[in-house]
Structure formats: structure tokens, C-alpha cells
A and B are shown apart, each in its own frame.
Chain A
């Protein structure tokens, strides 16, 4: 039981990285950024390429893990910033309706996936085993090292992000722009730069989650479609709400593991979507959706 909860939490931790990367962009531009999936696929491969081309034979184990994750995070940040330049900046200039952003993001996500397919199509790749497959024994229960690291690493990444958002000037700027671009610029905040920084943060998280997903499922071009998990978590937690996204993702992880035990892995995804639908219909603001009442 406790073991399952732990496994669910570790799964949820990966989902929370996905969800928060997704929520960051929603928070500032108010659309569901499905190109995030493309970023995750791309960075999973980028991390892999760095592994075979640069790191292999030089380092191993957890140092290798860190090197691969960092490479993927940097690649993700650069990719996401590029995506913003190509896919969204013009739309922002023209103050285009949100639906255009949405379509542009899906298009870019599919485009990335297709480009990866050209190069990686029929080949099967997978990450090396970074951590010993030995389990940690605590109180008579055994936990895998990889799950432990996943949980710790995700928590650290999210803690850093929350610190940046709520304790730094950049974070203040991000939150200001997410309220209103024009008012932000009256404060002297350069919205273009803030949007760029947000995409960079989102992309870095996408890179980290790309590696975790790659470790869990091996590498395939559609890996990034797991962005849907982040989307579900965001809806459960309240779209655009960072803390909500984390809570939603952890819940999703636990619920998925529990559902596999109860209805099997075939029915699990269907059940999850039913839960999400219920949330959309009954509580569209999500768990954490406390909207501040604005007075006249």
C-alpha cells in the first residue's frame, strides 16, 4: 500500500514537472501550449545524443545522469525560446485571438515530432541504466533508487522554480505580465523578455521531464505526447496555477497507480479522462482555483 503510494508519488513528480512547464506558459499567455510535448520529445533525444556522443565512456552513474539532465534542460530552454520566436511572437504583436496560439502550438509540436521521426524513425534507443537496480529497504518495504531520485530531483527543480517565481524580481515580472501586458509595461517591465524567460523556464522543465520520461519508457518520437498527463494535471489543479498543477500531478500519479491495481492498465486511461471531465464540468477552476474577487 505505502509502496504503491510512493510509486504513485514518484510518477506524479514527473507529471508535475510536465504540468508546471505547461502551466507556466498558460499562466502568462493563457493558452494550452501543446508544443511542450514536442520540446519533451526533442530534449529526450538531445539528452540521449549528448550521452552517446559526448559523455559515454567519460562518466557514468549519477554523474552521467546529472550531465544528461542538464544538457536536456539547456536544450529545452533553447528550443522553447525558439518556438516562442517562431510560433508566438508575431501573434502577440498582432494581438491575435487565443485560438491561434493554440493551433500554432499544436502545429509546432507535431512538426518537432515529425522532424525527430525522420532521423530516429525505426531505430530503438534507450538511456543507460543510471542507478543501481538495487532497492532501498525502509521499514520492511523496498523502494527503487530511480524512483527515489526522480522524486527528490523533481522536488528540487520545483522548489527552485517556486523560489524564482515568488522571491525574485524576475518572478514578480512574470506574475505581472501574466496579469496584464500593458500594465506590466507601465511598470517598466519588458514583456518580450519576460515571455522569453518564461519559455526558457518552461523548456528547461520540459527537458528534465523529457529525460525522466525517456528513462521510464525508452525513446520514441511520440514520447512527448505524455504532455497530456501534464494537461490533465493542470486541469485538475486549475489551469495556469503552478501550485495547483503540482497537487494535480501528484494526485494523478497516485490515482493512476491505484487504478491500475483496481481496473487494470487497459481501463486506467479511460477512467482518468472521466475524472478530468468531471473536474471540467463540476469544478473548472480546479482544486486550487481560488480566484481573487476583483472589485469595481
Chain B
């Protein structure tokens, strides 16, 4: 039994079919990547997992159980979604952003403990805890979004294009952070990325999404050397 099992998932926005029968599995403790072009349906898939978008048909099992019906209860089941475009709260202080991430945690001591752990891991945030989050640089905002996503101590983390719009050095840091969250934090990660090369190099297993359907899957290294992938996603001749 996999940690997360998605079977024959169909999602439509009115007449637009965004997902047409997606199947995938995520094993506990693994990093799984989903790569695909713009409009392939990657964000739709993550939004469906976190309950923001309702599926037309298909099943999602998390730890062998169906997910709660209301979107706001999904995080209580242990699934945190760090959304596309970071979506930090720009008018909040950094501290308030972290507290929002721990909204479901009622033990104040525990919240403070986790917050301090985040400050220890991200000294840049600690230096500016009373600064408005909207004034942070793009890279700092991404770090904050990830830190906020970890505040509920989820079992599974959904990450939607964390490297979007970041400078190469920062992208590198983000990918190292993702590995660290799995290796040290013991979390399972489902990562959506346009940066196919880095995502495939990092992950244990990967799926290629095209026009709402999985067209290829395999171990990261395996896909990296697949000629079709190299041509379509890695810019090789």
C-alpha cells in the first residue's frame, strides 16, 4: 500500500478537461516529481489533492483512507500544500505567516518550538520577523512559503514549482532544502516542476504529465537518460 494513491482521476473546469484519468503512487519517505509543460495539468492535480478543486471522478487514498471532503480539513489529515506562486500573506509579518501555517496546531508551546526551529534553519527570516512578508525578495518569500508549509508538521508535502522565477543559485538552495526536508525531516514529497533536469536528478520516481494524462513514468535517473525526455524537456538536440 502506497502512502498516496491516485486512481483514474478526472478533473474538468466546465468544458475544459484538465485531467483525464491520472494514476500515480507516492511511497512513504520518497520524493516524487511531476514534470510537464505549461497547461499540462500539474497545478490542477495538486489542487485536487488539497481539495481546492473537486474531481469529476476517480479516487484519492492517503494512508489508505479517502481524504476529508472539506478543503480546510485536508491539512489536518497530514497533507500540506505549498502553492504555485508561493502565496505568502504579503501584509503579514514573517512571524504571522508562520503562525498562519500552524493554524491547526492548538498547543502554543509546540507552535513556538516549531517557529524557533524555522528561525534557526532560516536565519534570514529570523532577522526580520516583524518585517512585512511582501517586502522580502523572491527567494526569501519561497523559503518563507516552505517554512510556513512545514509549520503543521505534515506527513506529505505538495510543492508546486518552488523554483519559479528564482536565480540559479537560489534554485540550487531550494532543491537542497527539499532534499533536506525529506532526509532530515522524514517527510514525503510530491514535487511539481518545470525545471525537469533538477527535479529528475533529485527525485526517486517521476511522472510526465501531458495534456492531463501521464504519458511516461520511471525512476528519476532513468527518465534523465530517456531520449524522448531529453528532447522534449531537457532541451537536448
A residues whose Cβ falls under 8 Å from a Cβ of B: 169, 172-173, 175-176, 179-180, 182-191, 292-296
Decide yes or no: A185 and B71 within 8 Å by CB, A172-B96, A172-B99 being known contacts: yes
Instruction: Tell me if B52 and A169 are in contact (CB < 8 A).
Output: no
Instruction: Tell me if A292 and B103 are in contact (CB < 8 A).
Output: no
Nearest CB of chain A from residue B59's CB, rounded to whole Å: 21
Chain A contacts for B141, CB-based, 8 A: 295
In this complex, what residue of A is CB-closest to B106? A169
Chain B contacts for A173, CB-based, 8 A: 103
Decide yes or no: A185 and B132 within 8 Å by CB, A176-B89, A179-B89, A295-B138 being known contacts: no
Nearest CB of chain B from residue A296's CB, rounded to whole Å: 5
Query: Is B81 part of the binding interface, using a Cβ–Cβ cutoff of 8 Å?
Result: yes
Chain A contacts for B3, CB-based, 8 A: none
Query: Is B91 part of the binding interface, using a Cβ–Cβ cutoff of 8 Å?
Result: yes
What string of 1s and 0s marks CB contacts (under 8 Å) between B149-172 and chain A? 000100000000000010000000
Instruction: Tell me if A295 and B134 are in contact (CB < 8 A).
Output: yes
Decide yes or no: A188 and B165 within 8 Å by CB, A292-B135, A295-B138 being known contacts: no
A191 to B72, CA, bound (A): 8
Instruction: Tell me if A186 and B50 are in contact (CB < 8 A).
Output: yes
- Give 6 pairs: A residue, B residue, CB < 8 Å, sorted on A: A183-B89, A184-B72, A186-B52, A187-B101, A295-B134, A296-B165
A-side binding surface: helix, strand, loop or mixed? Answer: helix
Q: Which 3 A-B pairs have the closest CB atoms?
A: A292-B134, A188-B104, A185-B71
Chain B contacts for A294, CB-based, 8 A: 90, 134
What 5 additional pairs, Cβ within 8 angstroms, besides A187-B101, A295-B137? A172-B103, A186-B87, A187-B103, A188-B72, A292-B135
Instruction: Tell me if B72 and A190 are in contact (CB < 8 A).
Output: yes
Instruction: Tell me if A176 and B100 are in contact (CB < 8 A).
Output: yes
Highest count of chain A CB atoms <10 Å: which of B89, B104, B135? B89
A183 to B90, CA, bound (A): 12
Query: Is B73 part of the binding interface, using a Cβ–Cβ cutoff of 8 Å?
Result: yes
Instruction: Tell me if A188 and B73 are in contact (CB < 8 A).
Output: yes
Instruction: Tell me if B81 and A186 are in contact (CB < 8 A).
Output: yes
A186 to B76, CA, bound (A): 10
A292 to B135, CA, bound (A): 7
Instruction: Tell me if A188 and B75 are in contact (CB < 8 A).
Output: yes
A176 to B88, CA, bound (A): 10
A169 to B90, CA, bound (A): 18
Decide yes or no: A189 and B72 within 8 Å by CB, A182-B52, A294-B90 being known contacts: yes
A72 to B120, CA, bound (A): 50
Query: Is B83 part of the binding interface, using a Cβ–Cβ cutoff of 8 Å?
Result: yes
In this complex, what residue of B is CB-closest to A176? B100
Decide yes or no: A187 and B138 within 8 Å by CB, A175-B92, A292-B132 being known contacts: no
A191 to B103, CA, bound (A): 13
Highest count of chain B CB atoms <10 Å: which of A184, A186, A188, A190? A186
A176 to B103, CA, bound (A): 11
Nearest CB of chain B from residue A197's CB, rounded to whole Å: 14
A250 to B35, CA, bound (A): 56
Nearest CB of chain B from residue A174's CB, rounded to whole Å: 11
Nearest CB of chain A from residue B65's CB, rounded to whole Å: 18
Nearest CB of chain A from residue B158's CB, rounded to whole Å: 9
A183 to B50, CA, bound (A): 11
Query: Is B136 part of the binding interface, using a Cβ–Cβ cutoff of 8 Å?
Result: yes
In this complex, what residue of A is CB-closest to B134? A292
Chain B contacts for A186, CB-based, 8 A: 50, 52, 71, 75, 80-81, 83, 87
Instruction: Tell me if B83 and A183 are in contact (CB < 8 A).
Output: yes
Chain B contacts for A293, CB-based, 8 A: 134-135
Chain A contacts for B135, CB-based, 8 A: 292-293, 295
Nearest CB of chain B from residue A155's CB, rounded to whole Å: 25
Instruction: Tell me if B136 and A295 are in contact (CB < 8 A).
Output: yes
In this complex, what residue of A is CB-closest to B137? A295
A294 to B89, CA, bound (A): 10
Chain B contacts for A189, CB-based, 8 A: 72, 100, 103
A172 to B92, CA, bound (A): 9
In this complex, what residue of B is CB-closest to A173? B103
In this complex, what residue of A is CB-closest to B70? A190
Chain A contacts for B51, CB-based, 8 A: 185
A180 to B52, CA, bound (A): 12
Nearest CB of chain B from residue A96's CB, rounded to whole Å: 15
A16 to B122, CA, bound (A): 41
Chain B contacts for A296, CB-based, 8 A: 138, 165
In this complex, what residue of B is CB-closest to A292? B134
Nearest CB of chain A from residue B211's CB, rounded to whole Å: 24
Chain B contacts for A172, CB-based, 8 A: 96, 99-100, 103
